[in-house]
Amino acid sequence: MFPMPMPEMPQEIMDAVSADPGAFAAALGDGMAAFQGAMADGGDMGAAFDAMGDIMGPIMQDLGVSPEAFDAAGDVIGAAIGGGMHMAPADTGGAEMGAMMQDAASLMMPEGMDVPAPVMDAMGDMGQGFADAGCAPHDMAAEMMPPAGDPGFPFPCDPAGECIVPPGDPAACPADACQPPPMDGACADMGGAMMPPDGGYDHAPMPADAVMAPPMDGMAPNMDPMAGGTGGMAGDTGGMAGGTGGMGALGDALGGAGGGMAGGTGGMADSADAAIGAAMDSAMDQGGAPAADNAGQANVDGVADAAIDDDGPEVDPSAGMG
């Protein structure tokens, strides 16, 4: 079983796959070799995935995939494939993991677009490669999926934030939160436990108090460099709105004690408020007109509102935001 709905592959990834399937497949192979090398050197899966990304990132840029889209692909692929591995039997082998990866890729593509054969073969080889490196499917799932409650976590949780779908128990997944593999896909070719039983699972009902994490909307979290995730402009590590390094550090230098450009104590938003307030005080001291009644709200919104009675043309506040 796979999560439902499945996230879509970022457009830049699909463009790169379509433009040169062989080169994309080779990049997957290089990344898998780096992963296995890191595991052989005694690293854990987190370090091995980092090694994979370090090798594949520059290659993907050469294929026209931006770092943001590459990070986003890791997030959505991790949620999709990790969700499938979470529901797979604990003793799932390499060939079966490869089949899950192939079917997950197929389900993530837009309707009418197939995964090219070289990429499909590379995905199958990666499944076997993970098994050869000593990775079990449920451990892979825990490493690949975002934490419960984060955007894109593929399963419902209880109010305490615990996933209600135990590993290896697809019947525990409510029917509206999961879907079977394609009937003509790689898992179907494997047969056995890789497909639902005849008549399907007797799925558990969705609890009334179950909580679904928000979906990865558009480019979130990493797909949208403005919206968050690691390295995003409003995200955790290196983000413009705080975290460690990146534009967050610039915010600290400009007066933010732990805050980035849009948050934290003394961040740039606070500095902007102080500057606007000082300018208004200066205007009043020089005999300027009293501020409009909504001037205070302008500081709350972070935007200096135009005078209420201005009859000029309205400006679309979303203009220029893309």
pLDDT digits (tens, 9 = 90+) for 237-247: 333 333 333 32
Q: Say what the pLDDT of residue 143 is.
A: 94
Q: What share of the chain is helix, strand, coil (3-state, %, to 5)?
A: 50, 5, 50
**pLDDT of residue 229 exceeding 70:** no
Task: Provide the residue ranges of all domains of the chain, joining segments of one domain with +.
Answer: 2-194, 240-286
For 137, the token pair is 């499917």
Residue with tokens 């007109």: 289
Q: How confident is the model over 10-67, as pLDDT tens digits? A: 889 999 999 999 999 999 999 999 999 999 999 899 999 999 999 999 999 999 999 9
Average pLDDT over residues 202-217: 87
Q: How confident is the model over 243-284, as pLDDT tens digits? A: 333 323 323 333 333 333 333 433 334 434 444 444 444 444
Q: How confident is the model over 110-159, as pLDDT tens digits? A: 888 899 999 999 999 999 999 999 999 999 999 999 999 898 899 999 99
Q: How confident is the model over 96-112, as pLDDT tens digits? A: 999 999 999 999 988 88
Q: How confident is the model over 162-192, as pLDDT tens digits? A: 999 999 999 999 999 999 999 999 999 998 8
Average pLDDT over residues 192-219: 84
Each residue of 241-275: b (16+ CB within 10 Å) or e?
bbbeebbbeebbeeebeebbbbbbebbbbbbbeee
State the Cα–Cα distance between residues 139 and 146, nearest whole angstrom: 13
pTM over 0.85: no
Strands (DSSP E) found in 113-271: 178-179
